[in-house]
A and B are shown apart, each in its own frame.
Chain A
């Protein structure tokens, strides 16, 4: 559970930077235009922040779902099953998100 709190605090910081770049650096629609988005991915610091945010949210969200599901029903088989399914889902999401960041960084 310590990781749940640690990633939560990490999200406050990395998510803050993410929301700042989208909402507070200019008009929203303009910031989400293709060229503006590419400028974010080209900046290595912002790209690394996005990757960190991805890792933190991925863990925090899926662990949260895991907590809800193992509170829903108790049992060794259920708990193991839920943990494994969510761990695999988390890794797949992480791979897809990281692919986006790496390719966007190369593309930009």
Chain B
């Protein structure tokens, strides 16, 4: 290993998650990665959480309705508080951003909405990050913000 682990971690964290002084495409990349990790963490918790709808980890055959219902109610009441609701609002933002920006990345992967190659001139804006792609990026931020507002209304009913 050429690099020590601590140096590798530092390089990764600043390289991935600190897009200051870089262009907008780098911000899109950092946010895509952060939102991906956040939604993955939510997915793991969600699989465990929804597992409780049939009674939890130890249940591997069909349980009684009463047993499953009691476990699920307890789970739902445990999760129904401002802490987890706020978490869901953040996840909603992340998920919406990741979805629309992911569609932009999918289009780019298949060569759609790419700028035409041309001579690099000042101010050296990347041709790959075309106007249409910028528009989709801002659309993803807008959609994410709208989702967060919608989630705020669902969980708190604007009663903060």
Contact = CB atoms under 8 A, between A and B. Distances in A.
A65 B40 contact: yes
Contact residue range for chain B? 35 or more
A15 B98 CA distance: 13
Given A34-B73, A68-B33, A103 B62 contact: yes
B6 to A, nearest CB: 13
A93 B12 CA distance: 27
A57 B37 contact: no
Contact residue range for chain A? 35 or more
B128 interface: no
B104 to A, nearest CB: 11
B139 interface: no
B34 to A, nearest CB: 11
B24 interface: no
Contact of A107 (B57, B62, B76, B103): B62
Contacts of A37: 53, 72
A40 to B, nearest CB: 10
Interface in A71-86: 71-73, 75
Interface of B: 1, 8, 12, 16, 33, 36-37, 39-40, 43-44, 47, 50-51, 53-54, 57, 59-63, 65, 68-69, 72-73, 76, 80, 99, 102-103, 105-106, 109, 154-155
